[in-house]
Structure 1
Amino acid sequence: MTLDYYYGDQAEQFSFYRIPKVLFTDSRFKDISAEAKILYGLLLDRMSLSAKNGWLDQEGRVYIVYTVEDIMDALSCASQKAMKLLNELDEKCGLIERKRQGLGKPNLIYVKNFVSAPESKFKNGENQNSGLLKIETQEFPKSKGSNTEKNNTDFNDTESFPFPSFRDGQKRESKGNDAERRAQYRELIMENISYDVLLVDLPYDKEIVEEILELIVDTVCTTKQTVRISGDDKPAEVVRSRFLKLDSEHIRFVVSCMKENTTKIKNIRQYLLATLYNASLTMTSYYAALVQHDMAEGRI
C-alpha cells in the first residue's frame, strides 16, 4: 500500500481522541499499559458527551455507559482483553470506578479526575467509594451507551480534560487545597504547551510566554461561573476546556499575533484571553492564508 504525504494543513481534517500527556509523564502511571491509557482517552471522549446530555447522578457526578462490547469494537480485541483493561483502570490505579446496576443492565462508569487528587487518594486494588453512589436514573436506550459519532462530537467542543467544577451551595476547597490544585494544573499546562521548549525556541519572548502561562493557569483555576472574553461572559467550564487543549503551536501563534499586531493594545490581559480562547479555531485558517499568500508571491 502506497500512501501520500501530508501537505499544508491537511492533517487538521481529522478528529482526535485526547489522551492526557500526564498519563505518560507522571510516575504514578508508569505501570499502566499503553492500551489502558488509550481506553482512558476513549472514556474521556464519551464522558464529555454524557455531561452534555445530562447524565449525572444525584451528586452531580458525570457517569457514562461504555460496555465491554464497545471496547471490543473500538480496540479490536477479545472480551477477556477488554475486561483486563477495565480492571487495570479501575483496580490498579483508580482512574475509573464502575457501579453495578444489576437486572442485566450495563455498568455505569465514573471517569476519575486525577489532576486535583493527591497521590494518596489513588487506589491500591481497593474500590474506595463502591456502594455509596446513588444514581438518579437507570433508564437507558436500547442501543449501547451514547454514540459519539451519531451525536456529531467530531464538530463540537466537547472533548475536555476532567476538572472539578463549583456549583452554587457547594463548599469551596480550603486555601491549602487551592494552592495544591493550582500547582497541579500549572504542571499539567506546562507539559501541554511544552513550556521549557518554548523558552528555548523563543528566547526573546520569554516574558510573554511566562505571562501567557500564568494567564492560562489563572483562568483554568478560576472559581467564578463565567469568564469575560471579548466583552462576553463565557461559561467558565467551556473556557477551561479550551485552555486545557492548548499546545505549543497555539502559544507560538498567540505570540506571533502579538508581534504582528499594529494597533495599540489597551488591555493586554483581555487581548490574550480572547486570542487564546480562539486560537484553536483561527490558527489553521491563519496559516493557510499565509501559505496561499506566499504561493501567490512565488515564495513557495
Structure 2
Amino acid sequence: MILDYFYGQSGELFSFYRIPKALFQEPRFQSLSTDAKTLYGVLLDRMSLSVKNGWLDKQDRVFILFTIEDVKRALCCADNKATKLLRELEKFGLIERKRRGLGKPSLVYVKNFSAESSKSIFQNRDFHDSGGFKNASQDPSKSRCNRTKENDTEMSETDPFYTQTTGRHEMRCRS
C-alpha cells in the first residue's frame, strides 16, 4: 500500500538537486557550510540548463545568471546570508563571478569540484576545462531570466524509476 502511494505520486516527487558527495567526504571541503554545499547543487542544476540553452560567453565558456535575489529565493535566506554563501563558494574555488557593470547581473561560472585547480566545468558544449579569470563580487540586481518552461529544471529526466514504454514506475537494478 505504501509503495503504491509512493510510486503513484507525480514526477515532482522525484525532482531533486544533486550535490556531489565529494563536498561532504573530501577533507578540503570540511569547513564548507552545508548551505554553501546546497547552493552549489542548485547552481549545478542551473548550469545544466545553460548548457542546454547554449549560454556561452565570448571565450565560449558556459555561464549562468544567478543573482543574490535568486539565491535568497532558492534558499529562503536574507541578503547577507546569500552574499556570504556566494563568497564562500568563491573562496573554495567552486564558482567564479564576472562583474559586468551597468546594473547587469554578474556572470557566474560553476567550477569543477573534483579538480584541485577548480577549473570551470564547462568551457563549451564539449565540456572542456576553461581558463580562470579574476574574482569579482556580484551585483544584487534583478535577474534578466524569463520564467518559461525553458527555465524549468524541475522537468529534467532524472527519475530512474519511470519507464516511458510501460508508463509506470518500476524498480531497476544497477550493476
Q: TM-score, normalised by structure 1?
A: 0.43
- CA distance in 2 between counterparts of 1:46 and 1:154 reads 10
Segments of structure 1 that go 5 or more residues without pairing to the other structure are: 132-141, 160-244, 246-278, 289-300
Partners of 2:72 and 2:78 within 8 A in 1: yes
Aligned alpha-carbon RMSD (Å): 3.1
In the TM superposition, what whole-angstrom CA distance separates every residue of 1:82-102 from its partner, at most 9, and x where no partner exists?
0000000002x0100000101
| Partner SS for 2:40 | helix
- CA distance in 2 between counterparts of 1:74 and 1:17 reads 11
What residue number does 2:63 align with? 63
- Aligned to 2:11, which of 5, 10, 13? 13
What residue number does 1:282 align with? 163
Amino acid at match of 2:163: T
Report runs of 4+ in structure 1 exceeding 6 Å deviation: none
What residue number does 1:77 align with? 77
Shift of the alpha carbon at 1:282?
2.9
In the TM superposition, what whole-angstrom CA distance separates every residue of 1:150-202 from its partner, at most 9, and x where no partner exists?
42332234x7xxxxxxxxxxxxxxxxxxxxxxxxxxxxxxxxxxxxxxxxxxx
Q: 1:39 to 1:106 in 2, by over 3 A?
A: same
Shift of the alpha carbon at 1:10?
4.5
| Partner SS for 1:98 | strand
Amino acid at match of 1:114: F
What residue number does 2:138 align with? none
Partners of 1:96 and 1:111 within 8 A in 2: yes
Amino acid at match of 2:96: E
Structure whose CA Rg is larger: 1
Segments of structure 2 that go 5 or more residues without pairing to the other structure are: 120-131, 136-140
In the TM superposition, what whole-angstrom CA distance separates every residue of 1:15-38 from its partner, at most 9, and x where no partner exists?
111111221112221110000011
Partners of 2:161 and 2:169 within 8 A in 1: no
Shift of the alpha carbon at 1:144?
1.9
Higher relative contact order (CA 8 A, sep 6+): 2
Partners of 1:49 and 1:148 within 8 A in 2: no
Shift of the alpha carbon at 1:40?
0.6
Q: Which has the higher helix share?
A: 1
Q: 1:122 to 1:104 in 2, by over 3 A?
A: same
What residue number does 1:111 align with? 110
Amino acid at match of 1:38: T
Partners of 1:62 and 1:110 within 8 A in 2: yes
Shift of the alpha carbon at 1:113?
1.4
- CA distance in 2 between counterparts of 1:148 and 1:17 reads 19
What residue number does 2:29 align with? 29
Q: 1:66 to 1:280 in 2, by over 3 A?
A: same
| Partner SS for 1:85 | helix
What residue number does 2:124 align with? none
Q: 1:150 to 1:287 in 2, by over 3 A?
A: closer
- Determine what percentage of the aligned residue pairs are the same residue: 50
Amino acid at match of 1:76: C
In the TM superposition, what whole-angstrom CA distance separates every residue of 1:48-100 from its partner, at most 9, and x where no partner exists?
11111111123321101100011111111111110000000002x01000001
Q: 1:96 to 1:39 in 2, by over 3 A?
A: same
Shift of the alpha carbon at 1:129?
2.1
Partners of 2:36 and 2:85 within 8 A in 1: yes
Amino acid at match of 1:17: Y
- CA distance in 1 between counterparts of 2:81 and 2:8 reads 34
